[in-house]
Amino acid sequence: MPECSTASVLVAGKPKFPLRWTSKPLAVMGYDFSKMMPYEKTLVCYLEKFPLMDIHELLNREGDVKCMDAYMRECI
């Protein structure tokens, strides 16, 4: 797959993750919650409420609206 944009999300002037597909993804093992800014803590708490979805399951259902809908409903 040809590389797309090299744009990255910057935090404190340092790139944290790319805004594109990559063949060599960066493994993120976690972050010290005590070092986060208050808005970061709020965002993390908000995002933790979302259900996890299996990307393989999503991709396997791509193009099949009924099957995708059924899977999305299972995840809620």
pLDDT at 1: 39
User: What is the pLDDT at residue 56?
Assistant: 86
Average pLDDT of the residues in 45-65: 87
Nearest Cα residue to 22 out of 35, 40, 3: 3
Better-predicted residue by pLDDT, 70 or 23:
70
Cα(56)–Cα(76) distance, integer angstroms: 17
Q: pTM for the complete prediction? A: 0.42
SS3 content of the chain, % helix, strand, coil (to 5): 40, 10, 50
| pLDDT tens per residue, range 15-45 | 666 666 767 776 777 778 898 899 989 998 9
